[in-house]
Structure 1
Amino acid sequence: MYTKPCTAPSSEPRCQFDAPLPSSTSQTPPAPPWPYRPGLTPSPSPLRPHCLVKECLKLWIPSYNHSQVAHNTHGDETQTSGEQLNCILEVMGPSWAKKTKETYGAGLLAYQVFCDAHDIPEPQRAPIRANTLLSFLSSCAGSYPGSALANFTAGLRAWHLLHGLPWQINAEELKVILEGASRLAPASSKRPLREPFRVDTLELFHSLLDLESHRDAAIFACLTVVFYCVGRLGEFTVQSIKLFDPMKHITRAHVSHLHNLNGLPVTKFRIPWTKASPTGEDVQCAPLEGVTNPIGALKCHFRINPADPDAHLFTWKHPTSGLRPLSRSEVTKCIASLTAAHNLPNLKGHSLRIGGTLHYLLHGTPFDVVKMIGRWAGDSFTIYLRQHAMILAPYLNDTPVLLEFFMRYTMPPVR
């Protein structure tokens, strides 16, 4: 039997530990932090330097001294050096997106202001005790919506995790207090329901936009693709035109035109990075009849706005600055302008995702298929349900219109 010869070890063993980490910081100096808002100003402390809110998780240090001996779950004593802690912070910090860091930092700020107001000593602020957390959330219940309190809690937990502190909060007790806080939330904190986009809304936008215009062609293509893919507008646009990154944002090279085994066409869009999936996700839609055909709108956009494969998917030609990626604000400004001028309902960017969900449900697409199209891990998409009777009608009748479909795909053929 052939035996692969052993490779002689190198005279200089390769170091596998403590390799230098790639820098995650931008070369551009960060903007200075804004002054604290009235009522949300913490007491001065060397533990909490005045910094950007997204940096609070990392730079605000608990008084639980890391030079002290920490006890793990087995009761063993371990020592974490300052250098090791910095390495941990560098590795864990990028796992949260910028917006998440800002949201969590705002919760941490509110918590520290609460502790200052109630004279809670620094050593008792972290690790946080159950009664302290519940008191904090209860005090916020009449001023903040339940979703904000859930984010505050998640931010405090992330802060503990980032600095190696134990999180010893009873999940059931926390669930009860968060549910109670949601009921006590002020009416002013609750947004009015966003109206969904519909196919006829897209048809109206088609008639109002100039599809020979560089900007309008890009926006209309974006609207139709996001709608029929049941996507998020932020996944197909950029937050800032200066922050376009082809490793994170969708480009023209991320579009594939495919056919299934029966010859049915489908277009796949590869989103390189999402908040839920840093390794990327795929979304799909198909060519359709009518003016809202997403693939037709995309081809029109490509004709009006030619660009390289590595350009942003909806790159458009600005009259003075040349090619630029399509920003979310550019799309939402267009939506707001058209809805105001034509007395349309409360349409926002997220209305596209709501509308796409309803579109497929109203056309009899099974709930689990819609869930897959929208990439929901749970059943949270049911909050988008409108027109319940229309959606459920096929499932409530004696002879559902989908019966033939189900029989064809669930029953084996007769031989």
Structure 2
Amino acid sequence: MDATVSDKTRQRKLQYTAEFLVWAANRGLTEEDVLLPSENTLCNFAALFARKLAGGTTKAKVSVVKSWVQRRGLAWEGGNNLRNILNGIECRAPASSFRDQRPPVKKEHLSTLFDELDLSGSCGLDHVMAAVSVGCFYGQLRGGEILPQSSNPADFNPSELPTVKDLNAPNQNGDRKLRLPKTKTKQSRGKEVLLHIPRKDPDSPTRAWQEHIQVNILGPDDPLVAYWDKNNELRVLSKAVFLNQCNTVWLRHNIPHMTSHCFRIGGTTHYLVQRIPPDIVKMLGRWKSDAFLKYWRDLDSLASIYLHQHHAQLSYTNCLQDSRAQCHYAPY
């Protein structure tokens, strides 16, 4: 198994594989039935979770079995029948299998966080916290694309996470591009993302990243999210530390618990509410169409904005047509 896969993902894959093997043993299947499972066998395995699990979870279990089979150089027998079974399971998933929608991080949440960070002094942790929070929000970043699991610099892998030199200098508009060595969808091919700069915003990503790099005296090859702690030791901001610091502040202000993905959907919602065209937001956030629609938030505000915009355009068009008609028929 790929050594770069997180421990959590690795454990889940091992769990799903073991689950399939135990099920096969209890069914009295032969070694051939297990190593080269027929579509009928796969359908029976998937049907085990009908009305018990969400469709996505069942598909994940089957996908792990598929990878396990193909790693052995064997053909995968799953076809239309298996797809129909999986689709049926998704349609009949129990309500208890669905997770509540995660709340989006909002601009006011960032302001609350900034109010409690010491950004006037030399606190390295607070400066990197500010940079990462606005970077994840305005860049619609996934937390795992810039934040490691470990705070130990010795564990940092520059082929997976960005270093300081991966953050380009601001362009003429003040925006910066960040090269991500590895992403969820592109993997090791990486991707460049645009960090748009709301220059009048006190929580500007440009200022936050610039001050973080200066205060923490980071070189080009240092981890982008590295900082010097109170013991004057170089550390790397991990996802766990970042979220714990954020949620500790927000808890005091009755703001709900946030995950790293809440920054991504918060940034997406922010741009949509600012009337940025959805296709532009989708491109900037590297969204797939179905996921992009699923994670829209603040639908009431968005609907109101676009309806008012539509009616305003319609009224303008009607007025323009009326004006032209009057000019055309006006007596000499």
**Alignment of 1:362 onto 2:273:** yes
**Residue in 2 aligned with 1:221?**
131
For residue 318 of structure 1, the aligned residue among 229, 236, 252 is: 229
Counterpart CA distance in 2 for 1:188 and 1:334 is 31
Counterpart CA distance in 1 for 2:95 and 2:242 is 29
**Residue in 1 aligned with 2:50?**
141
How much has 1:264 moved relative to structure 2? 2.0
Contact preservation (8 Å) 1:104, 1:154: no
For residue 241 of structure 1, the aligned residue among 151, 154, 168 is: 151
Contact preservation (8 Å) 1:206, 1:291: no
Contact preservation (8 Å) 2:109, 2:250: no
Q: Quick one: which amino acid aligns to residue 89 of structure 2? A: A
Task: Summarize deviations over 1:181-207 as a string: whole Å, max 9, x none.
Answer: 234445444322110011111011111
Long gaps (5+) in structure 1: 1-54, 56-92, 405-415
Q: Quick one: which amino acid aligns to residue 145 of structure 1? A: A
How much has 1:335 moved relative to structure 2? 2.4
Long gaps (5+) in structure 2: 318-332
Q: Quick one: which amino acid aligns to residue 280 of structure 2? A: V
How much has 1:272 moved relative to structure 2? 1.1
Counterpart CA distance in 1 for 2:35 and 2:234 is 50
**Residue in 2 aligned with 1:71?**
none
Q: Relative contact order (C-alpha < 8 Å, sep 6+): which is higher?
A: 2
**Residue in 1 aligned with 2:168?**
256
Q: Partner of 2:263: helix, strand, or coil?
A: helix
RMSD: 2.4
Q: Partner of 2:176: helix, strand, or coil?
A: strand
Equivalences for residues 7-406 of structure 1 within 5 A: 55=1, 97-98=5-6, 100-171=9-80, 173-211=81-119, 212=121, 213-242=123-152, 243-259=155-171, 263-277=172-186, 278-288=188-198, 289-320=200-231, 322-396=233-307, 397-400=310-313
**Residue in 2 aligned with 1:52?**
none
Q: Quick one: which amino acid aligns to residue 399 of structure 1? A: A
Give the structure-2-normalised TM-score.
0.85
Task: Summarize deviations over 1:176-229 as a string: whole Å, max 9, x none.
Answer: 322332344454443221100111110111112222322121112100011000
TM-aligned CA distance change 1:338 to 1:387, over 3 Å:
same
Counterpart CA distance in 2 for 1:174 and 1:341 is 49
How much has 1:104 moved relative to structure 2? 3.1
Q: Partner of 1:215: helix, strand, or coil?
A: helix
Larger radius of gyration: 1
Q: Partner of 1:205: helix, strand, or coil?
A: helix
Task: Summarize deviations over 1:248-274 as a string: whole Å, max 9, x none.
Answer: 211111111243xxx422101011122
TM-aligned CA distance change 1:324 to 1:182, over 3 Å:
same
Contact preservation (8 Å) 2:145, 2:180: yes
Counterpart CA distance in 1 for 2:144 and 2:253 is 25
Contact preservation (8 Å) 1:104, 1:151: no
TM-aligned CA distance change 1:143 to 1:339, over 3 Å:
farther
Contact preservation (8 Å) 2:43, 2:85: yes
TM-aligned CA distance change 1:109 to 1:178, over 3 Å:
same
TM-aligned CA distance change 1:185 to 1:210, over 3 Å:
farther
TM-aligned CA distance change 1:175 to 1:128, over 3 Å:
same
Contact preservation (8 Å) 1:97, 1:275: no
Give the structure-1-normalised TM-score.
0.69
Q: Partner of 2:289: helix, strand, or coil?
A: coil
Contact preservation (8 Å) 1:147, 1:182: yes
Q: Quick one: which amino acid aligns to residue 199 of structure 1? A: K
Q: Partner of 2:29: helix, strand, or coil?
A: coil
Bigger helix fraction: 2
Q: Quick one: which amino acid aligns to residue 281 of structure 1? A: K
**Residue in 2 aligned with 1:88?**
none
Q: Quick one: which amino acid aligns to residue 312 of structure 2? A: T
How much has 1:146 moved relative to structure 2? 2.3
Q: Partner of 1:307: helix, strand, or coil?
A: coil
How much has 1:384 moved relative to structure 2? 1.1
Task: Summarize deviations over 1:326-371 as a string: whole Å, max 9, x none.
Answer: 1111111112212322211232211000100101111111111111
